[in-house]
Amino acid sequence: MSQPPAIAAQPKGKAWHSQSAEEVLAQLGSTADGLSAQEAAKRFAADGPNELKEGKRISPWQIFLGQFKSLIIWILIGAGVISGVLGEVVDASAILAIVVLNAVIGFYQEFNAEKSIAALKKLTAPQAKVRRDGKVISIPASGIVTGDILALEAGDLVAADARLLSAASLKCIEATLTGESEAENKRPATLERDDVPLGDRENMVFMGTSVAAGTGQAVVVATAMNTELGRIAGLIQEAGAEERTPLEKKLESFGRVLVWAALGIVALLFVLGLLRGTKPFELFMTSVSLAVAAVPEGLPAVVTVSLALGVLRMSRRRALVRKLPAVETLGSTTVICTDKTGTLTVGEMTVRALYVAGQTYEVTGEGYGPEGEVRFEGKKAEAKNAPPLLELATVLLGCNNAHLVQEDGKWKTVGDPTEGALLAAGLKAGGNRERNEKEFPKHHEIPFDSDRKLSAVIRKLPNGKLRAFINGAPDVLLERCTNLYTSTGVRPMTDADRQHIVAQNTAMAKQALRVLGSAWRDLDNASPADLTAEKVEHDLVFVGLSGMYDPPRQEAKEAVAKCRAAGIRVVMITGDHPHTATAIAREIGIASVEDVAIAGVELDKMSDDELNKRVSKIAVYARVTAEHKLRIIRAWKANDAVVAMTGDGVNDAPAIKGADIGIAMGRAGTEVTKQAADMIITDDNFATIVAAVEEGRGIYANIRKTLQYLLAGNTGELLLMTICVIIGLPTPLLPIHLLWINLVTDGLPALCLATDPIDPDVMKRHPRHRSERITNRSFLRTMFLTGFLTAGVAFVVYLYMLKMGTPEIARTYAFAVLVFAELLRSFGARSETKPVWRISLFTNLNLVIVVAISFGLQVWSQHNAMLGRFLKTSSMPFADCFLLLALGAIPLLVLELVKVVRSKTPALHLARRP
C-alpha cells in the first residue's frame, strides 16, 4: 500500500465532508478494514506522533525580570546606585527597597505562567481504539496516523479528526470547538457544499471532542497540529505575542518625558553653578538632590499596589485577575466581544411555549428548577386547561431519559439537556414523573436517530396495552400523524389542522425557539419484532408542540444597557445559528431590529481590509470558527479600539489571547481558555464583566489622581530647589528630606488615594481614547499650579528663617511647611472637581489615619534627637508647628477655590448665551 502525502486538516480541492466515504478512503490509501501494522509504522515515521506541539514555557525567573521593564524603575535604580556611591546609604536602601517590593508584588500576581498549549494536551485522548489488519485494537492516541479507522462509542474522547464511515445514533459534544454545549447528531452521509461551518459538519468528528451516545467508525484525515484543535493551538501561538497595556504605554511615555525634563533642569543648573564658580562636588550633590526631587519614588509601588488592591476588590465581585495591568486595561475598554451561550444567556435550555389542543401557553421560570408556571393569556392556566396540558406533559415525561437533581441549591440535568428542559416543562404542566413510572412502566425504547429525527419510548398502560410516546422534529412527526388530540378527544387530522400546526411551528421558530413535536400511538398486541421505528412511527396521534431556548440572563440586559451608557460597544460572537443569535441579541439590546447576524461563511468571503471597514457596523456574528474570532478581534484593534474578548471553549482561546483583555469563564471554561486569559469570571456572568470594567475605570481614575498628587509635590520640590540654586541661596532641602517627602509624606497618602472608593458616575462617562495621554493639559495645569503654590509657601518660610537663623533651622522650617502642605493637599487630591468639604472623610478613613500619623511623625522629628539626626533637622517650638500648619493650608485653600470657580464657569457661560 503506497504512503499518501502528509495530510492537512482540509485537502486540496473538495473538503473531506463533501467527499463520499469511498473517495476519502481512496485518497488516504486506506480501506474499511484499516491499515496494516506495517503501513501504520511507515506513516508514523513520516508524520510523527499525534501530539500537539507545546509552546515555549516562560520561566518564573523570566516573569520576575519582566517586572523591571519600566523606564521609571530603571530611573529609580540609577538614583539608588548614585546615592549609594555618594555614601547616602539610607537613601539608596530606601529607593532599592521600593524597587524590590514593586517587583515582588508584580511577580506574585503573574506567577501563573503561560500554559495554553500545554493545557490543550489535556483535551486529547490518551488511548484510542483503531482497526488494524481487520481487528479492533487499543493503542496510545499518539500512535494514530492518517488512514487509521477509529472505532467510536459513548464516553470516548475523539483522538484525531476523522470522516465518518458509519454511525448508529451517534452524538458528539463539540463545545470545545464550537462553544455550543448541546450534543450534535452525526451521520455518515456526504454533504453537498464545501463551505459548511465547523458546527454543521455532521459527517466529521474532531480531536478533543467527546462521544455522548451511539457508536460509529471513522477514517482519520488529520492528526496532531493538522487537526482543527491543532490549528487552534497554532493560532494561540500566533496571537500570543505580548502587547503592552495602555497604562504601561502611558507610564513608559511619561517616564521618558520625566527623564529628559530632569536631565535638562539638572544640566542647566550645573552649568549655571560652574559659571558662578561653585565647586563641582557641591554641584554634583545638588544635582543628585534635584534628580531625587524630580523622580516620584513612590509611583511604581503606588501603581502596583493600586492594581493589586483592585485585583482583590474584583475577586470579591467574582472576577479573578491573572495579570495586574489587565485591571486598568478593562477601564479603557471600548468594545466587548462576548460569547452567547452561558454568558449572555443562562446556559440551560428552557421551554418557553407549549401548544396543545389549539391553544398556545407561556411557560415561566428559567433553567431546570421547579420555579415557574404555565400561563394562558397572561394569567396562570385555569382548571379547564389542565386536561390538555396533562396530555402533553404525559408525552414529554413518557419519552424522556433525563433526570433532574439539585446540587448546592441549583437544579441540574443528568442526561440530554433538551430532554431535561422537556422534563422540567412537563412537571410545570402538571405531570408527575413518579406516578407515570408506576402507572406506565417502560417496555421498550427506540433511541433518537439523526436520519429519522425522532425518539420513541413504548410503555405499558394499566389495561395491559402498549402505547408509544414520541418526540421529535415537528415536520417529520407531522408527516406520520393521521389523528389529532383536541380538548374534546381524538379525531382525524384535516389539511386545515396541518396548516395550523405548521403556522404555530413557524411562529415559534421566528421567536428563535427550538421546536419539538409530541405524539402517541396505541399498539395492539405488538410482538417484540414489531417494535421497530418503521412499524411503530406511523398513524400517530398529534398532541402538541414545545418551544425552547436558552433564555438571556436578566442581569445581562441591564449590563448591556450600562455598557451603552458608558460608551462601550457590545458584540456577540457565537457558534450558534444566525437566526437564534440575532433574536437573543435583539432581546438583550445588543442588536437593533435592522441588524442581522453575519455568518462565518460570509466572513470567509471578506478580505481583511473589507472586514476592517465593516466591523464597526456588525453587532452579531454566528456560526464562526476560532480563526473568524481572531480576525474580528484584529479588525477592531485595527480601528484603534481597546477590545475585551470573553469565551469558554478552546475555539475562543486564540481570540482571548489576541485581545487587549482576554476574559475566560470560570465554570464552563476549559483549562486552555483560562490559561490564555488575563481575567477569569467565576460566575460566567456578563454582568460581572461590566462590574470589572467599572472597577478598572475607577482604578485608572485613582492612579491618575495619585500620579497628579505625587508629581505636583515633586514639582513644588523642584521649583523650590531650582529657585534657590539660581539666586545663590543654600540648598533648601537635603536628599534625605526629599526622600522622606517622596516616600513617606507623599507615598503613604498616595497609597490611600489609590484605594479611594470608585466614583458612582464613572460608568456614565465615555471611555478614554487609546492614545489619550495620562498627563493632559488639565492635569499639567493643576500640577504646575499646585507646585507653584507649595514652592511659594516653602520659599517664603525658608527666606524668612534664613534671615532669622542658620541654614539648618531654615531647612527644618522649609521641610516642615512643605510636609504639612503635602499632607493637607492629599484631602483635596481625592477629586479633580469636588471641593474637599463635599467629600466625606469617612469614605477613606485610611487616609485620615495616615495623615494624622505623618503629622505626628513630623512634629516628633523636631522634638526627638534620634529622629532629628536621621532627618538632619533641628528642634522647633510647638507654637511654630501650628503656625507652619496654617501656612501649609494655603495651597489647599487656593486649589479648592479654583475647583469652585471652575464648577460655576459653565453655568456663567450658559447664562451669557442669548
Q: Which residues contact 885 (CB under 8 A, 6 or more apart)?
A: 820, 824, 855
Task: Tell me which amino acid residue 454 is.
Answer: L
CA distance 720 to 716: 6
Helix or strand run (H / E) with residue 318 = none
Length of the chain: 914
Q: Look up residue 248 and give its three cell numbers.
A: 504601561
CA distance 800 to 809: 11
Catalytic annotation on 339? yes
Q: How many CB atoms lie within 10 A of CB 414?
A: 11
Burial 75-111 (b: 16+ CB within 10 A, else e): bbeebbebbeeeebeebbebbbebbeebbebbbebbe
Dihedral sign computed on CA atoms, order 661, 667, 668, 674: positive
Q: Look up residue 778 and give its three cell numbers.
A: 488639565
The DSSP result for 16-40, as a single string, is GGGS-HHHHHHHHT--TT-B-HHHH
Burial 489-508 (b: 16+ CB within 10 A, else e): eeeebeeebeeebeebbebb
Helix or strand run (H / E) with residue 172 = strand 161-173
DSSP classification of residue 276? T
Task: Please identify which residue in the block is written with the cell numbers 464552563.
Answer: 668
Identify which of 653, 579, 583, 592 has the alpha carbon closest to the alpha carbon of residue 623: 579
CA distance 375 to 388: 13
Q: Are 128 and 145 in contact (CB under 8 A)?
A: no
Identify which of 370, 517, 487, 354 has the alpha carbon closest to the alpha carbon of residue 362: 354
Q: How many CB atoms lie within 10 A of CB 807?
A: 14
Q: Look up residue 647 and give its three cell numbers.
A: 469565551
Helix, strand and coil in the chain, % to nearest 5:
50, 20, 30
Task: Tell me which amino acid residue 840 is.
Answer: S
Q: Which residues contact 332 (CB under 8 A, 6 or more apart)?
A: 246, 247, 642, 696, 697, 700, 767, 768, 770
Q: Strand 540-549 vs strand 481-486: parallel, antiparallel, or unpaired?
A: parallel
Which residues is 644 bridged to in the sheet?
Answer: 336, 661
Task: Tell me which amino acid residue 107 is.
Answer: F
Identify which of 88, 97, 98, 95 has the alpha carbon closest to the alpha carbon of residue 284: 88
Helix or strand run (H / E) with residue 414 = strand 410-414
Q: Look up residue 622 and give its three cell numbers.
A: 454566528
Q: Strand 149-153 vs strand 481-486: parallel, antiparallel, or unpaired?
A: unpaired
CA distance 888 to 899: 18
Number of H helices, E strands in the chain: 33, 28
Q: Look up residue 94 and give its three cell numbers.
A: 530606601
Identify which of 640, 692, 655, 630 has the alpha carbon closest to the alpha carbon of residue 322: 692
Catalytic residue among 161, 339, 648, 756: 339
Q: Which long-range contacts (CB under 8 A, 24 or more apart) does 430-434 make?
A: 430/374, 430/386, 430/389, 430/390, 430/393, 431/390, 431/393, 431/394, 431/396, 431/397, 432/397, 433/397
Which are the catalytic amino acids?
A: 339
